[in-house]
Amino acid sequence: MQDQDSYLAGYNPSKYPSLAVTVDVVALTIRDAKLCVLLVERGAQPFAGQRALPGGFVKEETLDDAAKRELAEETGVKPGHGDLERVHLEQLKTYGNPDRDPRMRIVSVAYLAFAPSLPDPTAGSDAALAYWVPVDEAKDLAFDHDDVLADGLERARAKLEYTPLATAFVNEEFTIGELRQVYASVWGEDLHAGNFHRKVLSVPGFVESTGTTTSRGGERGGPKAKLYRAGDAKLLHPALLRPTREDRVR
């Protein structure tokens, strides 16, 4: 065996088979009350015609910056643009099985992004073949991206429970109903409107009132709703737990 010291001192890069590090991004947004993921279409082998998560090589930059850059490139939204400022980005997991890419060894650091509804990438960007796909239609992705997406979805579902990240899916000002729709879309099950409302307002720092209301009621009736913005809490306490499902526990 070698300790960290000796293997670093004796390392000669040319002795090792070449290896690359990429970032892949599971970018999630909500469109039409459905949770959607950003996918790109592959043109060439391997996996030609299949869809994949957006990603690319890591350059002379931090991993976080590489993920930000890839997301900006694929969505066609320039960094610095207001829309991207509000995107939450966090590292998800790293995938490095030797056979995950048939051509060479590629270690991919996956990121998870939560975004409010963003413009369609195809409109006015150089990301010709990127688009938002409802997550339940995102199957048979290239490489091991089915696994990456599944891990990203589970992380997103769990994070809604104990962090205020649901606010990353809505506009800066939002109604409690819109927030509830985020939970329903991500968790895939409806929540009781009354209880949800009371619960959200009772968690310290989750949301704070703007003092204003929407200019009109719901599309099919209902009163004007009060508007809120994200509060200063980093963790929800007490948490907002998913309806218990026995099969998640064992």
Q: Which residues bind DNA (CB under 7 A)?
A: 175-177, 192-195, 197-199, 201-202, 213, 216-226, 238-241, 243-244
User: Are 102 and 16 within 8 A, CB to CB?
Assistant: no
**Interacting residue with a second copy among 34, 42, 88, 157 (CB under 8 A):** 42
Nearer to DNA, 88 or 197 (CB): 197
**165-179: b or e for each residue (b if 16 or more CB lie within 10 Å)?**
bbbbbbeeebbbebb
User: Are 181 and 33 within 8 A, CB to CB?
Assistant: yes
For the CB of residue 8, give the shortest distance to a second copy in the complex, in Å: 7
Number of residues that bind a second copy (CB under 8 A): 67
For residue 121, give the DSSP letter.
Answer: T
Nearer to DNA, 42 or 157 (CB): 157
**Interacting residue with a second copy among 26, 29, 38, 74 (CB under 8 A):** 74
**202 scored as a contact of a second copy (CB under 8 A):** no
Distance CA 228, CA 213 (A): 9
Q: Choosing among a second copy, DNA, none, which partner's interface includes residue 134 (Cβ < 5 to 8 Å by kind)?
A: none
**212 scored as a contact of a second copy (CB under 8 A):** no
For the CB of residue 204, give the shortest distance to a second copy in the complex, in Å: 7
For the CB of residue 95, give the shortest distance to a second copy in the complex, in Å: 8
Q: Choosing among DNA, a second copy, none, which partner's interface includes residue 35 (Cβ < 5 to 8 Å by kind)?
A: none
For residue 201, give the DSSP letter.
Answer: H
**210 scored as a contact of a second copy (CB under 8 A):** no
Q: Which residues contact 9 (CB under 8 A, 6 or more apart)?
A: none
Amino acid at 81: H
Q: Choosing among DNA, a second copy, none, which partner's interface includes residue 224 (Cβ < 5 to 8 Å by kind)?
A: DNA
Q: Choosing among a second copy, DNA, none, which partner's interface includes residue 225 (Cβ < 5 to 8 Å by kind)?
A: DNA
Residue found by looking up tokens 């209902």 in the block: 222
For residue 198, give the DSSP letter.
Answer: H
End-to-end CA distance of the chain: 38
Q: How far is CA 208 from CA 60, 164, 168, 223, 233, in A?
A: 40, 12, 15, 20, 10
Query: What does DSSP say about strands 34-41 and 207-213: parallel, antiparallel, or unpaired?
Result: unpaired
For the CB of residue 158, give the shortest distance to DNA in the complex, in Å: 15
User: Are 215 and 224 within 8 A, CB to CB?
Assistant: yes
Q: Which residues contact 30 (CB under 8 A, 6 or more apart)?
A: 36, 117, 169, 181, 182, 185, 186
**122 scored as a contact of a second copy (CB under 8 A):** no
Site for a second copy, rule CB under 8 A: 1-9, 11, 13-14, 16-21, 24, 40-44, 48, 52-58, 60-63, 73-74, 91, 93-98, 101, 103-104, 107, 109, 126-130, 142, 204-205, 232-235, 237, 244, 248-250
